[in-house]
Amino acid sequence: QRHIGESWAEYRAMRAYIYDTARNTDLEKSGNRLDTDGVKLYGTTAAKNIADRAIQ
């Protein structure tokens, strides 16, 4: 149960971060690299953690 709860919470946090960054990104301007790089870093790490918990 704990793994399911942790995975769900991490998935929801990752999803919220992705959608928030996408909503706030202005494609006409530059300077969004920090947010988009953070999404890529956190998203891949969270996905790996979720997959590892699913295997257990």
Instruction: Write down the number of H helices and E strands in the chain.
Output: 2, 0
Whether the model pTM is above 0.85: no
State the pLDDT at residue 34. Answer: 83
- Record the tokens describing residue 33, joined without a space: 């690299």
Tell which residue, 10, 31, 32, 12, has the closest CA to residue 23: 32
- Taking the C-alpha atoms of residue 50 and residue 44, their distance in angstroms, rounded to an integer, is 10
pLDDT of residue 10: 96
Hey, what amino acid is at 29? K
Distance CA 40, CA 47 (A): 11
Q: Kindly report, residue by residue over 16-40, the tens digit of the pLDDT.
A: 999 999 888 877 776 677 888 999 9
Whether 8 has a pLDDT exceeding 90, the answer reads yes
- According to the model, what pLDDT value does residue 33 have? 79
